[in-house]
Amino acid sequence: MDTVRWGIIGVGDVTEAKSGPGFQRAAGSELVAVMRRSPGMAQDYAARHGVPRWYSDADALIHDPEVDAVYVATPPDSHADYAIRVARAGKPVYVEKPMARTAAECRAMIDASASAHAPLFVAYYRRAMPRFVQAAEVAHADLGELRTVTVRLRRPAAQDAALPWRLDPAVAGGGLFVDLASHTLDWLDHALGPLGDVHGVATHPLAGPGSAETSVAASFRIGDITGTGSWDFASDGVEDLIEIGGTAGTLRLSSFGTEPLQLTRGATTTTIEAPYPDVVQQPLIQQIVDHLTGRGSTPVSTGATALRTATVVDTVLAGYRAEHGIRFV
């Protein structure tokens, strides 16, 4: 095909700026249909973004003959269901992150994709963002032998009277560790290599037994690199740090900020500008479009790579989920 005609299932907040415009701006790509269960909201999104068709039924969009590929942007508890339905229709599917609530759900999605010979991609878009591509290049070129990785993320507690779905384990698979830490863990997998020898502990439920974890610590290895991480989502302060250390220097950056990268070698610290693109998912969307139209190689974020991240998250949260009776059917 020369042009990929996209449909979106679930036009919520993430599609307004982070992803949706990317399907319209990418070369060889068009956004032709959107779906949301509320007809009024689907129609409103289509009108505001100049999308020709809207649906309130997912299967109608999936089986629209003028939709070549589908982006699933619903909460994680429905990712597997929709992705499998798209695969069975023989169409490529691009799924929001996290890929699903558990690694088991991810495997079911991969199996359906393989059976239908329909590609499966996942929106771990930092793998393709220039900022993080540059950070990986600096780490390998300027730090000597890589030895350590440290991750820290601290944020104050959520103040919402009614907890959003991202903080409901039944919907999201966990709390903000699943939603946010997965981005960082996935980028480390891409930049440095798959994480192994993973151990973790989670504590401090957000709203009593069975609710989302708010304090998480983990250790891991990436080859001979030792790694540690800590995440606190009820902190008195704010911190966002990835620190990669080697025999010749140290690289510091954030997972979610836009400040320059910091490279320290000896007594000298150099700042490296590395801004975000206007539409953060567009570089990855362009990779996917180029692949589907035969103009590029396999994109950097697939079901297979996202499964590794889901497995790490499962391992870290296994004890907490067992303790709090958090199960997924």
Residue 62, classed as helix, strand or coil, is helix
Output the pLDDT for position 129: 97
Contact 309, 133 (CB under 8 A): no
CATH of 127-279+310-323 among 3.30.200.20, 3.90.1150.10, 3.40.630.30, 3.30.360.10:
3.30.360.10
Per residue, the 3-state secondary structure of 257-312, as one string, reads CCCCEEEEECCEEEEECCCCCCCCCHHHHHHHHHHHCCCCCCCCCEHHHHHHHHHH
- The residues, ordered by sequence, that sit 6+ positions from 216 with a Cβ below 8 Å of its Cβ are 177, 181, 200, 201, 202, 203, 229, 230, 231, 232, 316, 317
Q: Which of 156, 82, 134 is nearest to 271 (CA)?
A: 134
Say how many C-beta atoms besides its own lie within 10 A of residue 273's C-beta: 10
Output the pLDDT for position 163: 84
Look up tokens 């129609």; give the residue. Answer: 43
What are the residue ranges of CATH 3.30.360.10 in the chain?
A: 127-279+310-323
Look up tokens 């399907």; give the residue. Answer: 23
How many residues in total does the chain contain? Answer: 329
| Strand-strand pairing, 120-122 and 93-95 | parallel
Output the pLDDT for position 147: 98
Topology of domain 4-126 in CATH is Rossmann fold (3.40.50)
Output the pLDDT for position 162: 78
What are the residue ranges of CATH 3.40.50.720 in the chain?
A: 4-126
- The residues, ordered by sequence, that sit 6+ positions from 205 with a Cβ below 8 Å of its Cβ are 211, 212, 213, 214, 324
Output the pLDDT for position 161: 66
Per-residue pLDDT of the chain (329 residues), as tens digits, is 899 999 999 999 999 999 999 999 999 999 999 999 999 999 999 999 999 999 999 999 999 999 999 999 999 999 999 999 999 999 999 999 999 999 999 999 999 999 999 999 999 999 999 999 999 999 999 999 999 999 999 999 977 767 899 999 999 999 999 999 999 999 999 999 999 999 999 999 998 999 999 999 999 999 999 999 999 999 999 999 999 999 999 999 999 999 999 999 999 999 999 999 999 999 999 999 999 999 999 999 999 999 999 999 999 999 999 999 999 97
- pTM score, whole prediction: 0.96
